[in-house]
Amino acid sequence: MKRVYLFCDNGMSTSMMAQRMQDVADSHNLPIECKAFSYKIIQDIIEKNTLDCILIGPQTKFLFDEINKKYGDKTPVMVIDPTDYGMMDAEKVLKKAIVQMKKFKNK
């Protein structure tokens, strides 16, 4: 099971995106778990779970450098495209996350 976790400020709209991504993964029988959390608890989440991809909400893209520096050597980190996020295009976001995981694995 691959874990694709989304992080943003409070997790409201990101929770909707994570649920839609989970629905897409389930509809394609992909072994992927999508969940959303506040970036304020990222350390706790990462200590308890092995993540396969960290997605950052566009509204908190200012955190990318810090999160990538701290976790990017073990896990791909990316900012969700603002257009995909605004349109709630969960399929596009999930596809981009899968591409990132594959690229990271082939490093």
Known catalytic residues are 8
Cα(28)–Cα(11) distance, rounded to whole angstroms?
25
**Helical residues (DSSP H) of the chain, grouped into ranges:** 12-27, 42-48, 64-71, 82-86, 90-105
**Residue of 28, 30, 22 whose CA lies nearest to 5:** 22
